[in-house]
Amino acid sequence: MKQKQQIMKTPEKLTLARLPTPLEPLDRLSNKLRGPRIWVKRDDLTESTGSGNKIRKLEYVMADALRTGASVVITSGGIQSNHCRATAFAAAKLGISCHLILRGRPPASLDGNLLLDRLLGATISYATAAEFADLDSLYKRTEKLYSDQGISTYSIPIGASNALGMWGYINAAVELKADFLSHNIQPDHIFSATGSGGTLAGLIVGQQLFQLPGKIAGFNVADDGEFFRTKIAADIDNWGRQFGANLPALPIKIIEGYVGPGYGRAGPEVFSCIDLVAKLEGLILDPVYTGKAFHGMLESIRRGQLKNSSDIVFLHTGGIFGLFPHRASFTGPDSPPV
């Protein structure tokens, strides 16, 4: 707790997520694989419409938005962004407006997260991939649309992965530590999907501050390991400067090889993994984030890379609504062999 006392400013937070989330063992799957006991931290249960990891970050980021008196929050992501849907949810719940800048063309029909964005009243603008490459300009243009009308805005980066958002997973590290104590386990590994880096950055800092056991690793679902090591190191650095903590250089482990055909697209092995886990454990994963990471974790077990581990933890970061636009890829009724 020595490091904890070095933190000068602890930010305000709202209560938007239903916490603590459960930590549950997947015993049928673990037995079938003859590997370590797999536990799932159910952050897919943080809320219903706002479910997933983003709502933990938004408890801090939206508190800051309200503090500034903003009437509109602006954020961005892919057409099926879970973060955008969670932001639209939080804004509606707090009685302010939300503007989403989504990468891609308006689809012919509303589906998954996009349907919820619209139901929640978000204003949506679409940007081409080329426009999205200069996201700063898109944010500035959108902010100006409102400021020209005398409306104040608050901009949130992709995935709410900034120093403030990291607090969501610093606190999750405290929660995990209590989970481990109550289940009397000392997990060797904690795995998560990594999309914009904030979840992993928060967990890594939380581990350092609160002595959470286990090696933390993220499976990147876009870009590559180098990109995320650089991004997460910069986020941790910013966090230290913003909140007055003097952190040593912390290990950032990214496991590559599971992006598949690209961000938002998945190969048959990911759909097989989702199918297997759903049928065996009643646990639903998604093809964009958790399905890829979970598949990567099962591959590590199958290759014997975790044979010395007794307990491992998978952080289920949500994303269920992103499953529905991929309905065509679930073809067969049978579970694949393990």
- Which H or E run includes 76? strand 72-78
Strands 123-127 and 153-155 come out as unpaired
Under the binding rule (CB under 6 A), the answer on residue 142 touching ligand PLP is no
DSSP of 192-249: EEESSSHHHHHHHHHHHHHT--SEEEEEESSS-HHHHHHHHHHHHHHHHHHHT--PPP
Is the dihedral angle over the CA atoms 43, 44, 49, 54 positive or is it negative?
Answer: positive
Q: Report the C-alpha gap between 226 and 205 in whole angstroms.
A: 19
Neighbouring-strand partners of residue 315: 41
Stretch that binds ligand PLP, among 15-23, 187-195, 205-213, 273-281 (CB under 6 A): 187-195
Question: Is 300 annotated in the active site?
Answer: no
Under DSSP, the state recorded for 1 is -
Number of residues this chain uses to bind ligand PLP (CB under 6 A)? 19
**Closer by beta carbon to ligand PLP, 74 or else 293:** 293
The correct pick among 196, 207, 300, 309 for binding ligand PLP (CB under 6 A) is: 196
Under the binding rule (CB under 6 A), the answer on residue 197 touching ligand PLP is yes
Q: Report the C-alpha gap between 232 and 253 in whole angstroms.
A: 10
**Closer by beta carbon to ligand PLP, 112 or else 195:** 195
CA-wise closest residue to 172 among 84, 292, 6, 42: 42
Q: Report the C-alpha gap between 135 and 113 in whole angstroms.
A: 21
Per-residue contact flags (x/-) with ligand PLP for residues 58 to 97, judged by CB under 6 A: ------------------------xx--------------
Active-site residue identified among 30, 81, 97, 300: 81
**Closer by beta carbon to ligand PLP, 11 or else 183:** 11
- Which H or E run includes 3? helix 2-6
Under the binding rule (CB under 6 A), the answer on residue 198 touching ligand PLP is yes
**Which 306-325 positions form the footprint of ligand PLP (CB under 6 A)?**
317-319
**Which 243-272 positions form the footprint of ligand PLP (CB under 6 A)?**
none
* Cβ 219 to ligand PLP shortest distance, Å: 10
Per-residue contact flags (x/-) with ligand PLP for residues 274 to 293, judged by CB under 6 A: ---------------xx---
> Among all residues, which ones are annotated catalytic?
81
Binding site for ligand PLP (CB under 6 A): 52-53, 82-83, 159, 161, 193-200, 289-290, 317-319
